[in-house]
Structure 1
Amino acid sequence: MGILLFLLRVSCVAILILFGLLLVVLVFPVASLQIRTAMSLYWSRLLMRVCGVKVRVRGEPLRTGAVLWVVNHVSWVDIFVLNSIRSTAFVAKSEIRRWPMIGWLVAGAGTVFIERGNRNAIRAVAEQMKGRFSQGEVVGLFPEGTTSSGFDVGPFHSSLFDAALRAHVDVQPVALRFFHRGQRSDYNAFVGEQNLLQNLWYLLGTTGVVVDVAFLEAMSADTCEQMGRSQVAARAHHVIRQAVIGKADQ
């Protein structure tokens, strides 16, 4: 059953991604921001359904206006999970751009890529984030800089928090927890030496995948300005980690 389910789902995912690429190439260049965000939202919801991922939302996401969503990072799925709630421009590592199909899609949809280890890249990324904020968009940031098993949260890099402070926008911490067949699990975590195809095999060949998305209390722009980027990053890390490692209802 796992093989048959994988083949069925991977075929549907491939068709959906090709359709998404057509939208990005043919429609996005001439569509308004409102139309693009609506397309991204509903396309991401459909992708998660096809992949067999149930998205469970807790808390109150900021659905309007510019905001920085600060999120722990577990898998490539994270981008589409958040996009299924509100269309989000993510800051992601440059390696994702080179992934077949998925990389092309997230690039065309407006992902801001950062080259890890290049200090000069931070300034350029911050400028792109500022542009997103000026249009009232939400920017998603994975400040760990890498994925984890999902059972804990790694240290946060605070450099890109500065873009939110300079743009005077609210910062909302978001905690992701992955479940597999009713239990907390790292089954779908994209970590270690695993490549994208292997991770797709695990995800598309199984059932019972749930991603719990906890939207935590936002920090206002004024509060963030008073705290400074290091303290904002530390506060976000603390509340996200508490949500990730704490107990929650199944």
Structure 2
Amino acid sequence: MSLLRFLPRFLLVAIWIVVGLLSVGLIYPMASGRLRACMNRRWSRMLMCLCGIRVTVSGQPRLHGPVMLVANHVSWVDIFVLNGVRPTAFVAKSDIRGWPVIGWLVAGAGTVFIERGQRHAVRAAGEALRQRFLAGEAVGLFPEGTTSPGYDVQPFHASLFEAAIQAGADIQPVALRFFHRGRRSDYFSFVGEQNLMQNLWCLLGTRGARVEVVFLEPMDGERCRRDGRAKVAAHAHHAIRQAVVARRAAD
């Protein structure tokens, strides 16, 4: 890690985040849905560029119409990596709303927050997601419910799959794989007792960060309705885990 690399990157990222906050506060309320989506995508791509993250995309992402993108969860950057491909409203635990800067940004970008362990909160979030699907939007879900080092995939919580199933939306599994200097790595994973500043130090102070985004075969809405949320969640978990673990074995 290099302080000389960290400081200018941190300054540029801070400036870009201020630009994002001003956009969310001043432009978003007056902008059309198409303009907000364009701003979200371009802003997210530039953020990843300023962080020194090279993003490579494979597979066939659903770029139009209602879809639930279901992905493994490694870091706070996952949201912005996926937003750089298609603007997406994410489901996130409610305490993220209180995070300095990142929480404000994701809230302004339309994140649906949910309180853990509250059944009424799950129902309310499900209704909010249903409205997003009816509007033709993409919704992002990290069904592990927490982050991991990225070498494997933890069990999925199936409850929030129901919103996509009831709305008849397609569900597309997405595998995220992190690399550092050409090798699979957990160096950038946001896990354990690490705080955001410590994670930024790891990310901005080094080079060779890369994220592979693998869009896997989507499950169409009719199939999901027939199979039910438990089977759909199990299928998505298997597909993502196969992509995450198989590639690690090959590296």
Name the structure 2 match of 1:137: 137
Give the superposition deviation at 1:142: 0.3
- CA shift, 1:93, in A, is 1.1
Q: Superposition pairs for residues 43-192 of structure 1, below 5 Å?
A: 43-192=43-192
Question: Could you report, residue by residue, the CA deviation over 1:152-181 in whole angstroms, capped at 9, with x for unpaired residues?
Answer: 000000000000000000000000000000
Partner in structure 1 of residue 195 of structure 2 = 195
Residues 45-90 of structure 1, C-alpha deviation per residue, up to 9 Å, x if partnerless?
A: 0000000001110100000000000000000000000001010100
1:19 aligns with: 19
Find the aligned partners of 2:3 and 2:119 in 1 and give their Cα distance: 44
Q: Within 1, Cα distance between the matches of 2:97 and 2:5?
A: 28
Deviation at residue 115 of structure 1 after TM alignment: 1.1
In structure 1, distance between residues paired with 2:236 and 2:30: 37
Gaps of 5+ in 1: none
Corresponding residue SS for 1:29: helix
Amino acid at match of 2:168: H
Matches within 5 A, 1:35-46: 35-46=35-46
- TM-score, with length taken from structure 1: 0.98
Q: Give the deviation of 1:114 after TM superposition.
A: 1.0
> What is the CA–CA distance in structure 2 between the aligned matches of 1:144 and 1:22, rounded to whole Å?
32
Shift of residue 119 of structure 1? 1.7
Per-residue CA deviation, residues 102-161 of structure 1 (Å, 9 max, x unaligned), is 110110110111111222110111111111111111000000000000000000000000
Overall identity of the aligned pairs, in %: 62
Inter-partner Cα distance in structure 2 for 1:94 and 1:8: 32
Q: How many residues are treated as equivalent by the alignment?
A: 250
Q: Match of 2:2?
A: 2
Q: Could you list the runs of 4 or more consecutive aligned residues of structure 1 that deviate by over 2 angstroms after TM superposition?
A: 247-250
Q: CA deviation at 1:247?
A: 2.4
Aligned to 1:247, the other structure's residue is in SS state helix
Q: Given residue 165 of structure 1, which amino acid in structure 2 is its aligned partner?
A: I
How much is the aligned-residue C-alpha RMSD, in angstroms? 1.1
Query: Which TM-score applies when normalising by structure 2?
Result: 0.98
